[in-house]
Structure 1
Amino acid sequence: MPNSILLVEDDLEISEMVKSQMMKEGFKVIQAFDGEAALQYFSAEAFDLILLDLMLPKGNGMDFLQFVREQSVIPVLIMSAKDSEVDKAIGLGLGADDYITKPFSMIELTARVKAAIRRAKNYSKSVEKEVTTIINIGKITVDLDNYLVTKENRDVKLTSKEFLILKMFISSPNRVFTKEQIYQSVWKEDYYRDENVINVHMRRLREKIEDDPSNPQYIKTIWGIGYKLGEF
Structure 2
Amino acid sequence: MNIREKILVVEDEKSISRFISTILDNNGYEAVQARSGTEALSMISSHCPDLVVLDLGLPDMDGLDILQSLRSWSSLPVVVVSARDHEQDKVAALDLGADDYLTKPFGTGELLARVRAAIRHTRTTSTNDEIARKGTYSVGDLTIDYNKHQVLVNGENAKLTLSEFRIVALLGKYAGKVLTYDFIIKELWGPRAGDDNQILRVNMANIRRKVEKNPAEPEYLFTEVGVGYRLAEGE
Q: For residues 131 and 5 of structure 1, do their structure 2 counterparts lie closer, same or farther at Cα, with a shift above 3 Å needed?
A: closer
Which residue in the other structure is 2:25 paired with?
A: 23
Q: Distance in 1 between matches of 2:124 and 2:83?
A: 30
User: Which residue, 56, 73, 85 being the options, matches 2:75?
Assistant: 73
Which residue identity does 1:109 align to in structure 2?
Answer: L
Q: Distance in 1 between matches of 2:177 and 2:19?
A: 46
Q: Distance in 1 between matches of 2:174 and 2:47?
A: 26
Alpha-carbon shift at residue 45 of structure 1 (Å): 2.1
Q: Distance in 1 between matches of 2:33 and 2:100?
A: 19
Q: Distance in 2 between matches of 1:60 and 1:41?
A: 17
The TM-score with structure 1 as length reference comes to 0.55
Q: Distance in 1 between matches of 2:71 and 2:122?
A: 14
1:62-107 deviation line (CA, Å, top 9, x unaligned): 1111111012101100001011110011010111010000000011
Which entry has the higher C-alpha Rg, 1 or 2? 1
Q: Distance in 2 between matches of 1:45 and 1:106?
A: 25
The TM-score with structure 2 as length reference comes to 0.54
- Return 6-15 or 117-126, whichever deviates more: 117-126
1:112-139 deviation line (CA, Å, top 9, x unaligned): 101111121233363677854799xxxx
Alpha-carbon shift at residue 61 of structure 1 (Å): 0.6
User: Which residue, 28, 37, 40 being the options, matches 1:38?
Assistant: 40
User: Which residue, 65, 73, 94 being the options, matches 1:63?
Assistant: 65
Which residue in the other structure is 2:125 paired with?
A: 123
Greater relative contact order structure (CA < 8 Å, 6+ sep): 2
When the two chains are superposed, the root-mean-square deviation of aligned CA atoms in Å is 2.3
Which residue in the other structure is 2:5 paired with?
A: 3
Q: Distance in 2 between matches of 1:108 and 1:131?
A: 32
> Segments of 4+ in structure 1 off by > 2 A?
121-135
Which residue in the other structure is 1:82 paired with?
A: 84
Q: For residues 134 and 60 of structure 1, do their structure 2 counterparts lie closer, same or farther at Cα, with a shift above 3 Å needed?
A: closer
Q: For residues 88 and 40 of structure 1, do their structure 2 counterparts lie closer, same or farther at Cα, with a shift above 3 Å needed?
A: same
1:153-176 deviation line (CA, Å, top 9, x unaligned): xxxxxxxxxxxxxxxxxxxxx89x
* Same amino acid, percent of matched pairs: 41
Structure 2 unaligned residues grouped into runs of 5+: 132-136, 138-172, 179-216, 219-235
Q: For residues 64 and 131 of structure 1, do their structure 2 counterparts lie closer, same or farther at Cα, with a shift above 3 Å needed?
A: closer
Q: For residues 93 and 22 of structure 1, do their structure 2 counterparts lie closer, same or farther at Cα, with a shift above 3 Å needed?
A: same
- What secondary structure is seen at the aligned counterpart in 2 of 1:124? coil
Matches within 5 A, 1:1-232: 1-124=3-126, 126=128, 131-132=174-175
Q: For residues 134 and 111 of structure 1, do their structure 2 counterparts lie closer, same or farther at Cα, with a shift above 3 Å needed?
A: same
Contact 2:8 2:52 in 1 (8 A): yes
Q: Distance in 2 between matches of 1:132 and 1:121?
A: 14
- What secondary structure is seen at the aligned counterpart in 1 of 2:32? strand
